[in-house]
Amino acid sequence: FVFSISPLINAVSDYEGDKKAGVRNLYTIYGFEKGKKMVSILIVILFLTPLLIFHSLVEIIFLLVLSLISAFIFYRYEKYKVVLGLYFIVLIYILIRFLRIARI
């Protein structure tokens, strides 16, 4: 899922070029603002997918807060590298969590 959303996150930086070149993507088809809203929702879903496996209150709060911060940063400031960096933190957390489970 992260590999399929990554191009959508990165495409925000070249909206004008894509529009002029006639490239069809989420932003040029639905409009820039609506496209950002759609991708922001996908970012929240991406960050919350580990909750299918992990169910503790701390993890729910941690992932929910990171997902909302990431979606806000993407929607408001279009800082896609920050979003990918925050998701990297989530991936590291998931890896550590799995390693902890494997030892038990």
Q: What percent of the chain has pLDDT over 70?
A: 96
pLDDT mean across residues, the chain: 91
Residue pair 7/30 in contact (Cβ under 8 Å)? The answer is: no
pLDDT band at residue 3 using 50, 70 and 90 as cut-offs: low
Weakest-pLDDT range from 40-49, 62-71, 94-103: 94-103
Delimit the domains of the chain by residue range: 2-103
Angle, alpha carbons 22-6-10 (nearest 5°): 50
pLDDT tens for 17-31 read 999 999 999 999 999
- Residue whose pair of structure tokens reads 């070029």 in the numeric block: 17
Q: Which residues contact 12 (CB under 8 A, 6 or more apart)?
A: 27, 35, 36, 39, 74, 78, 80
